[in-house]
Amino acid sequence: MNTPIRNSIRFLLNDKLIELADISPTETLLDFLRLERRLRGTKEGCAEGDCGACTVLVGRLSDSQLKYESVNACIRFVGSLDGCHVVTVEALAARDGTLHPVQRAMVDTHASQCGFCTPGFVMSLYGLWMQNPHPDVREIEKALQGNLCRCTGYAAIIRAAESISAVGDVNKDPLVTERARVREQLLSLKDGRRVEVGAGKQRLVLPADLDDFAEFMDANPGSTIVAGSTDVGLWVTKFMREIGPVVFISHLDELRGMTEEQDGLRFGAGVSYTDAYPLVIQHFPQLTELWNRIGGEQVRNMGTIGGNVANGSPIGDTPPLLIALGATVLLRKGNVRRSVPIENFFIEYGKQDRLPGEFVEAIRIPYLKPGEQFGVYKISKRLDEDISSVCGGFKISLDAHGKVDTAIIAFGGMAGTPKRAGSVEQALIGSSWTEETIDHAVSQFATDFTPLTDWRASADYRLLTAQNLLRRFYLESTGETNVRLNRYAAAVG
Ligand SMILES: Cc1cc2nc3c(=O)[nH]c(=O)nc-3n(C[C@H](O)[C@H](O)[C@H](O)COP(=O)(O)OP(=O)(O)OC[C@H]3O[C@@H](n4cnc5c(N)ncnc54)[C@H](O)[C@@H]3O)c2cc1C
Ligand code: FES
Ligand code: FES
């Protein structure tokens, strides 16, 4: 195939069109803004997606609609921004210096002290305000999970968030009133070409479409695929790794599709956590808490399900639940496709069942069958914006006599890969679903797993936690948690 090529990336930065024909594949948006464009309102705190000081908004076309999301500029590569609109804090105040309603609200509620985190909070709140002008506290806290402030205290910032609509009308905001014009501008940047900039290790590529991506990967199997860059970004900013040549895929609409099929859900590998959320919780409400605790809002806007699976981390949050649900990974190399049960995809630490040049095209998740019970629990040191110490996914079904018919139990954080607890499952199958059975089965965790001690948790803690999560699943499945909580509440008055 002879795909037409463009040798530059093009995007809007505030009100300017940027065209770059010479850009490193690992140049971060944060460095570009601060060092090359002298836009220093966007701050660098951690350089690893944790603190939110670098938050900017990125507008992208999704089904030809223009959607603005908060992202971490410190781990977003400039090369991935082709066809996007980047909005930084400098664009907010009017030319005469009048503050933007979000800024005004922050000032009026004394929501800033040293001010270092403030631009990041302002941008996160701006993103929230555009989507939801009257958020409640829970929604505000969710939007701010990825922003840290060391001095003001969050109460004032939440008051600011609550008062923005009293200060300004979102329908008069430039990103709303100018939306159609900016959308047209971005559409005019879409020329259907493959983008190629640089050579050798400095080469960056944005395939024209999914087929072009498959063809490129087949011919260049040593390239690093970058989707949301919430893992890969840190390889660069923290580990100084050379990752070129790089192929960016976050712009590929074909990888962002979601379908409700007859017997399950199909998520393109490039679907972000944010985009997946409504469909995920519609079918699996048990995932609501876990999904809301993956990273912070910026990470959920950027990070993809495909990236979480392909990365193969033993502490990624989706693999345990996907294994428990019996999900399948759909892989593609050139025009050849195959599917692998997800539990077989993880071979050993750092090694997945993926051929050179092959990529994850989609993940299929079967619906629960009648009678199947499902639960997933994430245990981490902090509630928000933290990686799991242990994460467990559970699915069981009982026969007509109340005995366990099927059981799939999978854990992250317990081994070098996400892994099933085969001996625990066997101890359950055929036995009555009772507390005695659970008491017996939990001893089998030590047969299935020899967890590590690291800075997140000790081996003993991990084993005990896994046991307790099975107990929790049992109590929840029988409604016993409510009974015990009520008893406890009555006892303590
Ligand atoms: C602050 C912060 C908090 C986080 N919190 C969590 C958390 O709570 N839970 C959690 O599980 N993770 C968390 N992560 C990790 C990360 O967000 C997830 O693993 C995310 O799903 C990665 O997706 P991505 O699109 O950003 O992947 P990328 O970083 O773009 O890629 C990750 C890996 O997958 C490969 N890859 C990506 N797409 C494909 C594809 N289609 N085919 C083949 N290979 C592909 C890349 O080459 C790379 O090896 C966090 C990260 C940060 C920075
Ligand atoms: S600098 Fe901390 S999240 Fe980017
Ligand atoms: S105002 Fe100082 S870190 Fe938030």
The pair of three-digit structure tokens given for residue 25, joined into one six-digit string: 């594949």
Q: What pLDDT is recorded for position 492? A: 64
Q: What pLDDT is recorded for position 2? A: 77
Exposed/middle/buried for residue 367 (C-beta within 10 Å: 0-12, 13-18, 19+)? middle
In the reported structure, the alpha carbon of residue 316 is separated from the centroid of ligand 1 by a whole-number distance in angstroms of: 8
Cα maximum dimension of the chain: 75
User: Average pLDDT in the 213-228 region?
Assistant: 98
Q: Answer yes or no: is pLDDT of 171 > 80.
A: yes
Q: Which residues are near ligand 1 (CB < 6 Å)?
A: 48-50, 224-232, 269, 294-295, 299, 302-304, 306-308, 310-311, 316-317, 359-360, 385, 387
Q: Answer yes or no: is pLDDT of 491 > 80.
A: no
How does pLDDT run across 11-25, given as a tens digit for each residue?
999 999 999 999 999
Q: Answer yes or no: is pLDDT of 489 > 80.
A: no
Percent of the chain with pLDDT over 90: 95
Q: Which atom of ligand 2 is nearest to the CA of 146?
A: 3
Pocket test for ligand 2, best of 58, 70, 74 (most atoms within 8 A of CB): 74
Q: What pLDDT is recorded for position 154? A: 96
How does pLDDT run across 400-417, given as a tens digit for each residue?
999 999 999 999 999 999
The pair of three-digit structure tokens given for residue 247, joined into one six-digit string: 């192929």
Q: Answer yes or no: is pLDDT of 260 > 90.
A: yes
User: Average pLDDT in the 179-194 region?
Assistant: 96
Q: Answer yes or no: is pLDDT of 493 > 80.
A: no
b/e for 306-326, b at 16 or more Cβ within 10 A? bbbbbbbbbbbbbbbbbbbbb
Pocket test for ligand 1, best of 243, 290, 308 (most atoms within 8 A of CB): 308
Exposed/middle/buried for residue 434 (C-beta within 10 Å: 0-12, 13-18, 19+)? middle
In the reported structure, the alpha carbon of residue 115 is separated from the centroid of ligand 2 by a whole-number distance in angstroms of: 15
Ligand nearest to the CA of 42: 2
Average pLDDT, the chain: 96
Residue having the nearest C-alpha atom to atom 51 of ligand 1 = 230
Ligand nearest to the CA of 33: 2
Cβ atoms 160, 109 nearer than 8 A: yes
Rounded to 5°, angle at Cα 88 from 85 and 93: 115
In order of 166, 219, 325, the CA distances from 199 in angstroms are 52, 15, 43
Ligand nearest to the CA of 52: 2
Q: Which residues are near ligand 2 (CB < 6 Å)?
A: 44-47, 49-54, 72, 74
Q: What pLDDT is recorded for position 426? A: 98
Q: What pLDDT is recorded for position 121? A: 98
b/e for 408-422, b at 16 or more Cβ within 10 A? bbbbbbbbbbbbbbe
From edge to edge, which strands make up the β-sheet containing 224-226? 5-6, 194-197, 204-206, 246-248, 224-226
Q: Which residues are near ligand 3 (CB < 6 Å)?
A: 112-118, 149-152
- In terms of Cα–Cα distance, which of 282, 328, 329 is closest to 310? 329
d(CA 44, CA 51): 9
Exposed/middle/buried for residue 343 (C-beta within 10 Å: 0-12, 13-18, 19+)? buried
State the pLDDT confidence band at 62, using cuts at 50, 70 and 90.
confident
Ligand nearest to the CA of 29: 2
Q: Is the C-alpha dihedral spanning 220, 360, 384, 314 positive or negative?
A: negative
Q: What pLDDT is recorded for position 1? A: 63
According to DSSP, the residues that pair with 66 across neighbouring strands are: 61
Q: What pLDDT is recorded for position 488? A: 64
Domains of the chain (ranges; CATH) run: 1-193 (3.10.20.30), 257-482 (3.30.390.50)
Q: Which atom of ligand 2 is nearest to the CA of 52?
A: 3
**Long-range contact pairs involving 312-315 (C-beta distance under 8 Å, separation at least 24):** 312/345, 312/346, 312/350, 312/351, 312/352, 312/417, 313/231, 313/412, 314/349, 314/412, 314/413, 314/414, 314/415, 314/416, 314/417, 314/418, 315/387, 315/388, 315/389, 315/391, 315/412, 315/413, 315/456
Other Cβ atoms within 10 Å of 203 Cβ, number: 16
d(CA 287, CA 199): 43
Q: What are phi and psi of 304, to 5 degrees?
A: -120, 160
Other Cβ atoms within 10 Å of 27 Cβ, number: 17
Dihedral of the alpha carbons of 247, 252, 254, 255, in degrees to the nearest 10: 60
Q: Answer yes or no: is pLDDT of 428 > 80.
A: yes
Q: What pLDDT is recorded for position 483? A: 67
d(CA 488, CA 475): 15
- In terms of Cα–Cα distance, which of 242, 382, 411 is closest to 319? 411
Q: Answer yes or no: is pLDDT of 482 > 80.
A: no
Residue having the nearest C-alpha atom to atom 12 of ligand 1 = 316
- In terms of Cα–Cα distance, which of 2, 75, 73 is closest to 34? 73
Residue type, 350: G
State the pLDDT confidence band at 63, using cuts at 50, 70 and 90.
confident
d(CA 149, CA 137): 17
Residues 6+ apart with CB under 8 A from 35: none
In the reported structure, the alpha carbon of residue 243 is separated from the centroid of ligand 2 by a whole-number distance in angstroms of: 21
Q: Is the peptide bond before 245 cis (omega within 30 degrees of 0)?
A: yes
Q: What pLDDT is recorded for position 267? A: 98
How does pLDDT run across 362-404, given as a tens digit for each residue?
999 999 999 999 999 999 999 999 999 999 999 999 999 999 9
Residue type, 210: L
Ligand nearest to the CA of 124: 2
Pocket test for ligand 1, best of 51, 210, 231 (most atoms within 8 A of CB): 231
Pocket test for ligand 3, best of 51, 125, 147, 151 (most atoms within 8 A of CB): 151
